[in-house]
Amino acid sequence: MQQQVYLDYNATCPIRDEVITFMTEIMKEGGNPSSVHASGRKARNRVENARRQVAALAGAKPQEVIFTSGGTEANNMVLNGFPDREAIISAGEHDSLRSVEGAKTIPLDKAGLVDLEALKHILGDLQRPALVSVMLANNETGVLQNISEIAELVHEYGVLLHTDAIQALGKITFNFKDLGADLMSLSSHKIGGPQGMGALVVRDGVVIKTLQKGGGQEQGRRGGTENVAGIAGFGLAAEQAEAELSEYARLSKIRDKMEADIEAITETEVFGKGASRLPNTSCIRMPGVPSELQVMTFDLNGFAVSAGSACSSGKVKASHVLTAMGYDDITASQSLRVSMGRHTTQEDADRFVLAWKNLYERKGAGR
């Protein structure tokens, strides 16, 4: 029996062997970063070194990085950290950002890009300070937003900008300073670090409400003894991911060939193809075959893929991202996300195309 082909890197990237070894070593060491003795100082050095590593990958200053329990917590810190500001959120955001009561929604166009004219209209009607949140890279389609252009626009109205860069980290080169955002969310397990670790990057001078009070850790912004092993693992993964950024040029070629091969089999849709996308991500429709059936069938045939975000309690439903882009529920419910990573080969993609062809010929609209 062949080993499963893993094509769900956007859900989680398998943890790196070096990270496991490093974290195990640190867990054996122990030490509280707030203690002043040698064990505590060593733990503190581990945390601060990781802060520098994560900052380097994200193009931020180390003092701007606040470690969290993951990307969802980072997003929630933003949503709840500015109680006096009105929330304005793009229609394609992750579920951890879509639950804000009373938030205004920025529509997307057919390519998955934020409608800037609609955003201008919303900003022009504001009656109080606001916070805009637009993700840098969509987790389902891979579509990249022009965050620097959005930042320039919202700042004209005195509005803060947050960007969820969780899927973009380690896949494309970007710089927090150049993006112009005021806040940015990151996650460890998308780059081969441990699950349950993330960070919120807060631009110097931005004041955010402290939600988790404790002993003043993380510059007084997130109380509680730091997860030293998790933080250090995140840091090492960030350092290794930075060294591997050029690898995504290879994945882009594999992804593009896979899409072309599938498009040659039947008329289909590659969602967001008209926009710049992450080089590893493809969201594609199999006409006539529900997403849930696709995911289960591919799994039985040795392929790990998904139908959009992996944060919906395991349920497969029509993608809110695709419906926000103007697709109907039927089209959206026939989508599949394929996301590649450092272990993906051309052979993996070719095998997947053959499995796609077999399923479509048995169950698809052209059968």
The CB-side HSE value for 207 (13 A sphere, CA atoms) comes to 3
Distances (CA, A) of 231 to 196, 210, 222, 237: 10, 20, 14, 10
Query: Strand locations in 40-147, DSSP E?
Result: 65-68, 86-90, 104-106, 130-133
Q: Do residues 285 and 267 make contact, with C-beta atoms less than 8 angstroms apart? A: no
How is residue 53 written in tokens?
């590593």
314: Cβ contacts below 8 Å, ≥ 6 apart: none
Query: Strand locations in 312-359, DSSP E?
Result: 335-339
Nearest one of 20, 77, 12, 11 to 233, comparing CA atoms? 20
| Residue 311 among the catalytic residues | yes
Name residue, tokens 């975000």.
Answer: 309
How is residue 87 written in tokens?
């929330």
How is residue 347 written in tokens?
């052979």
Phi/psi of residue 154, each to 5°? -70, -30
Nearest one of 41, 62, 43 to 53, comparing CA atoms? 62
Among 260, 264, 296, 311, the one annotated catalytic: 311
259/281 Cα distance (integer angstroms): 10
Phi/psi of residue 78, each to 5°? -70, -50
- Burial class for 105, CB neighbours closer than 10 Å (0-12, 13-18, 19+): middle
Q: Do residues 179 and 134 make contact, with C-beta atoms less than 8 angstroms apart? A: no
Name residue, tokens 């867990």.
Answer: 27
192: Cβ contacts below 8 Å, ≥ 6 apart: 13, 14, 15, 16, 19, 170, 237, 240, 241, 342
Active site residues: 311
